[in-house]
A = this chain, B = another copy of it.
Amino acid sequence: MTVGIIGLGLIGGSMAIEIKRKGFAETVLGVENDPVNASAAEKIGLVDQVVSYEECVDRSDLVVIAVPVGAATRLLPDILDRFEKNARGQVVIDVCSTKEQMLRTVHYHPMRRSYVASHPMAGTEYSGPWAAMPGLFDGRACIICNAEESDPKAVSLVEKLYAELNMRTIYMNASNHDVHTAYVSHISHVTSFALALTVLDKEKDEKHIFDLASGGFSSTVRLAKSSADMWVPILTQNRDNVLHVIDTYIEKMQSFRQAIEDYDEDKVRELITDANKIKRIIR
């Protein structure tokens, strides 16, 4: 089998590493528009060959779209068009963090059933081929959305891929997926970005503020290093859910603010004790 990966960044590159290591495909092709990243990917040996987009789509049995969701949404219909011409049972997946808009885009495409919407929930705050690493997906959750709209053979190929990556697969409709990721992933990024902006603002007057930054600050602000290319389209594509979560979040901040302003120690204690319940959920 030949797998073609479009976008050799953190996710595409890490997937290439695992696919070769596990022997899931004989040949792994890669597409990378950025010439620096393309030559890095070849140098590191992430894929067997970096080829053009057209060659990749035409030669691959399984195409993986691993570019930011804005670009992915534009590529997907074109890839399905090519599949229609090639007429040889090819399959395409994406790995994006929002799903409703992707699925809407190809809902009436004659080749819709060749597409499996997937979201391997793994990542770091780094990007590009240098960020790719073995074991990135190990033990993490992978969501397949609206599987009933895809060809069962296509779904089963994709399940096999994610099993090789040692991921546990969860099935969900796209609308639930986008609500859940807004809560457990997208809001964390927005709060980290906002924290970084807050502290950087202060730094304009106080050059030495970061001498004091402790481990707690670093872990809370870590996601603020995440790339704009990836996050701009996620936040706008998942707009309604993200706005809803931001509103709830701002309400919680306002409750803290009010309790502190009023020196209401009982209320501050109640809020913190409620927040502590997160202990039963995360390690």
Contacts and interface: CB of A to CB of B under 8 A. Distances in A.
Interface string A178-207: 011101110111111111111111110010
A121 interface: yes
Interface stretch (A15-23, A34-42, A240-248): A240-248
A224 B125 contact: no
A86 interface: no
A253 B250 contact: yes
A123 to B, nearest CB: 7
B279 A121 contact: no
A235 B203 CA distance: 21
A223 B220 contact: yes
B191 A191 contact: yes
A202 B252 CA distance: 13
B141 A222 contact: no
A192 B253 CA distance: 10
B212 A219 contact: no
Interface stretch (A46-54, A158-166, A266-274): A266-274
B228 A185 contact: no
Contacts of A252: 193-194, 197-198
Contact of A282 (B122, B141, B218, B250): B218
A265 B269 CA distance: 39
Instruction: State the majority secondary structure of interface residues on A.
Output: helix
B249 A256 contact: no
A227 B235 CA distance: 32
Nearest to A228: B272
A214 B268 contact: no
Contacts of A206: 179-180
Contacts of A273: 228
B217 A188 contact: yes
A145 to B, nearest CB: 12
Given A224-B276, A276-B224, A122 B214 contact: yes
30 contacts: A122-B215, A125-B216, A180-B206, A180-B212, A185-B214, A185-B216, A187-B195, A190-B253, A191-B191, A191-B195, A191-B253, A192-B275, A194-B252, A194-B253, A195-B249, A196-B277, A197-B275, A199-B278, A201-B248, A210-B282, A221-B282, A224-B275, A225-B276, A231-B272, A235-B260, A236-B265, A236-B268, A243-B257, A243-B261, A250-B250
The 3 closest A-B pairs by CB, nearest first: A196-B278, A196-B275, A193-B275
